[in-house]
Amino acid sequence: MENLPKNILFKTPEGYFEDLPNRVLERNRQKKSRTIALFRMTAAAALVTIGIYFFVIKNEIMVEQSLEAYLEQEIDLYISSGYWQAEDILSFSENPNLILDEIIEEEWGGLESSQTDTDIEEWL
């Protein structure tokens, strides 16, 4: 230790404390602008993500509906052309009784049970 030079190692640069408040304020301004920009980018990313999510879901629903409409048209075409019979359609179904019940409900659903009994008696 005795061989080391006796210079003052910790000496502040000239004018350091005069410029210190300005430098602190400038750094503070830069940090705020970065925070606001980060907040805006995060909000924009969230909006884009939500928009894409709803667009994809809406698009999937529209594809399902258009597919159903297309299949209904194809089935009607096969039935009207005589290529498929009623038995063929029922054999494609997992639950043919459900289809028959729906058809009966559509055709006879508006009738009361007393009217149905009267109609049956007339047919007999």
Of all helices (H) and strands (E), which one includes residue 99? helix 96-108
What share of the chain has pLDDT > 70, as a percent? 74
Q: Tell me: pLDDT of 55 over 70.
A: yes
**Average model confidence (pLDDT) across the chain:** 77
Q: Tell me: pLDDT of 4 over 80.
A: no
Which tens digit of pLDDT belongs to each residue from 72-81? 888 888 888 8
What is the four-CA torsion angle of 52, 54, 60, 66, rounded to 10 degrees? Answer: -120
Which tens digit of pLDDT belongs to each residue from 77-122? 888 888 888 778 788 888 888 888 888 888 887 555 555 556 666 6
